Amino acid sequence: MPGDYTFPRSERILHSAEFERVFGQGAKLLCGAFVCYVDRQTGQGRKLGCVVSRRVGNAVVRNRVKRNIREVYRLHRPDLAVDVHLVVVARQAAARMRYGECAEALCRLLRKGDVLRG
C-alpha cells in the first residue's frame, strides 16, 4: 500500500558511510531524550537512520524505541523537508517515554531545526 505514510527501504540510512557523513556534516539538535543530526542533501530525497545503544536498555527496550522513532517519521513524513537526511540518536531517557511523549519530543526537536513544518 504505497503512499505518503510508508517507510520504504529507499528512505532508510543503512550503511555506515552514510551515517558518518550525516554525523560529520550535519547540524546537531539536542533535547533530553534525543540527539538529532540533520544534513541537507539536495537531490537525494529524505532519509532516516536510528541509533540506539545498549546503554538505553535491553533488546526489547531498544527495539521499542526504534519503532517509536520510525513511527514518528512515518506519520510526519509529508511535513518533513524534502532533501534532508536525519539520524536520531536515542538517550537513556527515551527508554522511559511512551509513544506520545516520544512523538512530542521529536516533533519539537525537528521544528527547532526547521525540518518539520507546522
Query: What residue ranges define each of the domains in the chain, with the CATH number in brackets?
Result: 9-112 (3.30.230.10)
Average pLDDT, the chain: 93
pLDDT score of 42: 86
Q: Of 25-29, 77-81, 103-107, which range is least confident? A: 77-81
With cut-offs at 50, 70 and 90, classify the pLDDT of residue 1: very low
Rounded to whole angstroms, the Cα distance separating 34 from 66 reads 12
pLDDT score of 6: 81
Mean of the pLDDT values across residues 54-58?
97
With cut-offs at 50, 70 and 90, classify the pLDDT of residue 44: confident
Is the model more confident about 117 or about 93? Answer: 93
Give the predicted TM-score (pTM) of the model.
0.91
Rounded to whole angstroms, the Cα distance separating 87 from 77 reads 14
Residue 105 near residue 45, CB atoms below 8 Å: no
Mean of the pLDDT values across residues 32-57?
94
CB atoms within 10 A of CB 43: 6
